[in-house]
Amino acid sequence: MNFKQKLQHKQQIINNRLMELIKINNVPETLMNSMKYSLEAGGKRIRPILTLTIAEALGGNTDDAMDFGCAIELIHTYSLIHDDLPAMDNDDYRRGKLTNHKVFGEAIAILAGDALLNFAFEFLLEKASNNLKEPYIKALSIISKASGSTGMIGGQVIDIESGNKKINLDELYNMHRLKTGAMIEASCIVGCVLAERYDKINIVKEYSQNIGIAFQIVDDILDCIGDKEKLGKSIGKDEKDNKSTFVTLLGLERAKELAKEHTEKAISLAEEIDSTGFLTDLTNYLLNREN
Amino acid sequence: MNFKQKLQHKQQIINNRLMELIKINNVPETLMNSMKYSLEAGGKRIRPILTLTIAEALGGNTDDAMDFGCAIELIHTYSLIHDDLPAMDNDDYRRGKLTNHKVFGEAIAILAGDALLNFAFEFLLEKASNNLKEPYIKALSIISKASGSTGMIGGQVIDIESGNKKINLDELYNMHRLKTGAMIEASCIVGCVLAERYDKINIVKEYSQNIGIAFQIVDDILDCIGDKEKLGKSIGKDEKDNKSTFVTLLGLERAKELAKEHTEKAISLAEEIDSTGFLTDLTNYLLNREN
């Protein structure tokens, strides 16, 4: 299999596991439909792929890495539902489909988000309760910190508060380090912790911080020059919303260079984590993606 | 100390611990203010008092019971913030104070709710990660199930969907069993699990189910005949909103009788759990409260 085939294969098994996990009995039908709708809306599954790839590369158990990666994807999905709400980014489309609240209404969208966050902890705590292992609890603790008020949620608050004013490059870095970076970092470190390869933590952390920033810069570039059809959302929204981005602060060319620098740094670290080359290819793919 | 003094003492130490826990470094100021605002808005702290009382009565560790009880209160508080949102119950006042979104705006209120839910798991997982004990993980698993899509969130969805139609008594019981009952049950069972007194689980469960229903019936009665000043919110809202309640379905007198029956059943069980009499007094207090 070439890289694209391997990537699609991983995405497929992650999607299958997510759909299996979300089959919860006795959930009100509307709530279940709303949770499923956003989970099935696709996305690249970058976070669980990172957890899975790093855990496997370091000798960890695949099933465990899959479940923790899926929990991170559940949390990522809830954060998108809440971010899209009228009170926040007020987006009608995400990945080419109507956003959750446009289909199910705001009340159900808020509750479906709450339920996805809750379920991430719920099913992993049940797993840990049935088979208590120290790395499970360490990994859960890392995820909960990354998704919390000093991580992802904190970043979203900074993003909202930056909406109406110009911020500088340091503030932009800090916002993204929290808003998207914290969960990407957790995805990688959890793979390392599940494999109990604490000797690799620092390399994995540095790798994740570099791809986190590269990922965000590429997002900003795509919002500026991307293809609306491929992105599944309108472009030029950042500029219209008068948002500070890597492109508005640095210009397009310097933003491209910076994404490349962080990617090259990440690639040199990826080679120390995964000898199969998959993580290296994945890192390159994240820089060169079109959506 | 008499019962009222003991109750106030417990409320005080719970409030102190909540304020201590919520001192998190590096949280954006607005988010922290919003989280604190709703936590400090008071409330009777019934859930942590139940956890604490039952754990202590059964020989459990007070500090552990306090922390798990506080986590349940954090989750309860988040659920109130989200319930009050315009897209849900659209309430302007709660406990005599403006609701969270009226003070901080909808975006921050949604995120403060998310952050409180997340933080409940976050600080307990950190505690468990530093000192791994089986009852911690069992208790965490019980809490996460109770607050999730087959518990509290499921109940809230049923409540929203019942808004515009008449429901029958069975449906009303089911809704409350989930919406408020699940977390009250968890508060009690967690006390029992932390004390590792699995021999008492069934009694504690039956006790909690009876007070859960009695608590809700009293809520419905107070909405009908309560004192606006003491309640801190407008009364007659259920009738105005055309909601099915124990009072609208059974009439005031039968609702009062039913609350008394469940309370009496709960009291007979309370005596088997707590020989000090505090749980019995608390159960009586819940029936006779004015807010």
Q: What is the ipTM of this complex?
A: 0.96
Residue with tokens 């970058």: A46
The CATH number of residue B225's host domain is 1.10.600.10
pLDDT digits (tens, 9 = 90+) for A133-185: 999 999 999 999 999 999 999 999 999 998 777 899 999 999 999 999 999 99
Q: Are A105 and A34 in contact (CB under 8 A)?
A: no
Q: Give the span between the Cα atoms of A92 and B15, in whole angstroms.
A: 41
What confidence category does residue B262 fall into, taking pLDDT thresholds of 50, 70 and 90? very high
What confidence category does residue A106 fall into, taking pLDDT thresholds of 50, 70 and 90? very high
What confidence category does residue B232 fall into, taking pLDDT thresholds of 50, 70 and 90? low
Total number of domains in chain A: 1
Residues 6+ apart with CB under 8 A from A123: A21, A67, A71
Question: Is the model's pLDDT at B234 over the cut of 70?
Answer: no
Whether residue B147 and residue A117 make contact (CB cut-off 8 A), yes or no, is no
Question: Is the model's pLDDT at A80 over the cut of 90?
Answer: yes
Q: Give the residue-averaged pLDDT of A250-274.
A: 96
Residues 6+ apart with CB under 8 A from B254: none
Q: Give the residue-averaged pLDDT of B24-33.
A: 96
Q: Give the span between the Cα atoms of B78 and B93, in whole angstroms.
A: 15
Report the predicted TM-score, pTM, of the whole model to 2 decimal places.
Answer: 0.96
For testing contact with chain B, the best of A102, A141, A162, A177 (most B CBs within 10 A): A141
Whether residue A156 and residue B111 make contact (CB cut-off 8 A), yes or no, is yes
A4 C-beta neighbours (distance < 10 Å), count = 10
Which pairing describes strands A97-98 and A93-94: parallel, antiparallel, or unpaired? antiparallel
Give me the pLDDT at residue A232, please: 66
Whether A203 and chain B come into contact, CB under 8 Å, resolves to: no
Which structural domain, as residue segments, surrounds residue A225? Answer: 3-288
Tokens of A83: 């971010």
* Selection from A101, A146, A85 nearest residue A121 by Cα: A146
Q: Give the residue-averaged pLDDT of B241-269.
A: 93
Give me the pLDDT at residue B42, please: 77
Residues 6+ apart with CB under 8 A from A241: A163
Q: How many residues does chain B have?
A: 291
pLDDT digits (tens, 9 = 90+) for A120-143: 999 999 999 999 999 999 999 999
Residues 6+ apart with CB under 8 A from A288: none
Tokens of B195: 């004390």
* Selection from A163, A165, A162, A67 nearest residue A122 by Cα: A67
* Selection from B213, B200, B268, B214 nearest residue B57 by Cα: B200
Question: Is the model's pLDDT at A212 over the cut of 80?
Answer: yes
Question: Is the model's pLDDT at A111 over the cut of 90?
Answer: yes
Whether residue B121 and residue A121 make contact (CB cut-off 8 A), yes or no, is yes
Give me the pLDDT at residue A235, please: 67
Q: Give the residue-averaged pLDDT of A259-267.
A: 96
123-152 in chain A: CB under 8 A from chain B = 125-126, 128-129, 132, 134, 137-138, 140-141, 144-145, 147-150
**Max Cα–Cα distance, chain B, nearest Å:** 53
Task: Write out chain B residues lying below 8 Å of A115, CB-based.
Answer: 148-149, 153
Give me the pLDDT at residue A29, please: 97
Task: Write out chain B residues lying below 8 Å of A129, CB-based.
Answer: 137-138, 140-141
| For B82, nearest residue in chain A (alpha carbons) | A110
Give me the pLDDT at residue A290, please: 77
Tokens of A11: 């995405």
- B193-215 in b/e form (b: 16+ CB < 10 A) is bbbebeebeebbebbbbbbbbbb
Q: Give the span between the Cα atoms of A185 and A199, in whole angstroms.
A: 16
Q: Give the residue-averaged pLDDT of B203-221.
A: 95
| Average pLDDT over chain A, rounded to an integer | 94
Q: Which residue has the higher pLDDT, A190 or A231?
A: A190
Of the candidates B122, B140, B150, the beta carbon closest to that of A24 is on B150
Which pairing describes strands A93-94 and B97-98: parallel, antiparallel, or unpaired? unpaired
SS3 B226: coil
What is the nearest CA distance from B85 to chain A, expressed in angstroms? 9
Q: Give the residue-averaged pLDDT of A44-59.
A: 98
What confidence category does residue B231 fall into, taking pLDDT thresholds of 50, 70 and 90? low
Burial group, residue B227, by CB count within 10 angstroms (0-12, 13-18, 19+): exposed
Q: Which residue has the higher pLDDT, B203 or B166?
A: B203
Q: Give the residue-averaged pLDDT of A234-239.
A: 68
Give me the pLDDT at residue A165, please: 79
What confidence category does residue B228 fall into, taking pLDDT thresholds of 50, 70 and 90? low
Give alpha helix (H) positions in A147-225: 152-162, 169-176, 182-194, 201-225
A vs B: CB pairs below 8 A: 155
